[in-house]
Amino acid sequence: MELKDSIRNKYKNYLLLERSLSANSIEAYMTDLDKLSGFLFSESISAENVKLDDLQQFVAQLYDLGIGARSVARIISGIKSFYGYLMLDGYIQTDPTELLETPKIGLKLPVVLSVDEINELMDIIDQSTKEGQRNRAILEVLYGCGLRISELVKIRFSDLAFDEGFIKVEGKGSKQRLVPVSPAAIREINSYLFYRREMTPKKGFEDILFLSNRATPISRITVFHYIKEYAEKAGIKKNISPHTFRHSFATHLLEGGANIRAIQMMLGHETITTTEIYTHMDREYLRQEIIEHHPRNKPR
């Protein structure tokens, strides 16, 4: 069975908007995905029903074709990324690549904004408009909470627990977690609510926090374009995306002295070997980590 074009196109957009990959990198990912698609077609297997054994057979065929270990590692990395996306968007419930072995290779360091660059980008936003106030709140939440853009666009009023200092987030595989929300983010959301309450959402979206000008949930690509626009106005030359704020969140907390395990839990990066540690960490401790160490919570 062939890989559905709709899934392929959505994955390509994911690589652009959330991974912020270059055109050449995206082309390489899609070429590797096409290799898998060809294998699935020959075996009459759908991408959603792939098992670990199928993937191991696919990798074996790569070696049989004489493809080198480094290239195989790159292809496997791309396949893992694809199935991570399928998990993120709810196409599958379990990741068949989790136990797929891959050669160890160096990782590309993500783009990170400095604290000054974050401040410059925030300050460039015109908060006298409803769009500007909404976008300021969006960027403050992305940076102040370390959320994925896919998590942010799904936030509902019912997910906000400001009295306790948390936002309920639905992450990869529909897993929910409580993320500490900074006072700065709370302040910007409350400012945005002045405009949000004046809007009449389209039916079915009444509980969605961040709405577009059409009164529907704001899209990932819209946020992506606003970030590019603000970065250009602020004179920031780095190739940034919504995910850059998540990387910056983690990096700045770590540089500020926050506990690495607390950061991983706030990001929702639970793994087989660390899940037990994370689930036993105290929620108030997590909240204090972000309050004490996040640069946006300090007087400017």
pLDDT at position 209 = 95
Average pLDDT over residues 6-26: 87
For the stretch 60-85, what's the b/e string if a residue is b when 16 or more beta carbons lie within 10 angstroms of its beta carbon? Answer: eebeeeeeeeeebebbbbbbbbbbbb
Whether 30 is covered by a domain: the verdict is yes
Q: Which of 88, 104, 128 lies at the terminal end of a domain, its last residue?
A: 88
Give the C-alpha separation, 195 to 212, whole Å: 12
- Work out the pLDDT band at 1, boundaries 50, 70, 90: very low
More confident residue, 4 or 12: 12
Q: Is 175:219 a contact under the CB 8 Å cutoff?
A: no
Catalytic residues: 148, 172, 243, 246, 269, 278
Same domain, yes or no: 166 and 18: no
Average pLDDT over residues 84-101: 89
Whether 105 is covered by a domain: the verdict is no
- Work out the pLDDT band at 272, boundaries 50, 70, 90: very low
Whether 95 is covered by a domain: the verdict is no
Whether 273 is covered by a domain: the verdict is yes
This prediction has a pTM of: 0.61
Mean pLDDT, rounded, of the chain: 83
Q: Which domain holds residue 45?
A: 5-88
Same domain, yes or no: 269 and 123: yes
pLDDT at position 170 = 86
Same domain, yes or no: 139 and 254: yes
Predicted confidence (pLDDT) at residue 283 exceeds the cutoff of 70: no
Of 240, 241, 260, nearest to 250 (Cα)?
A: 260
CATH number, position 17: 1.10.150
Same domain, yes or no: 17 and 130: no
Q: Which two tokens stand for residue 93?
A: 């419930």
Angle of the 283-293 helix axis to the 260-267 helix axis, nearest 10:
100
Same domain, yes or no: 148 and 83: no
C-alpha distances in Å from residue 158, one per residue of 207, 209, 221: 7, 9, 24
Same domain, yes or no: 136 and 249: yes
Same domain, yes or no: 30 and 128: no
Same domain, yes or no: 65 and 131: no
Instruction: Quote the number of domains for the chain.
Output: 2
DSSP letter assigned to residue 217: B
For 48-76, how does the pLDDT look when each residue is reduced to its tens digit (9 = 90+)?
889 988 898 888 888 767 777 778 888 89
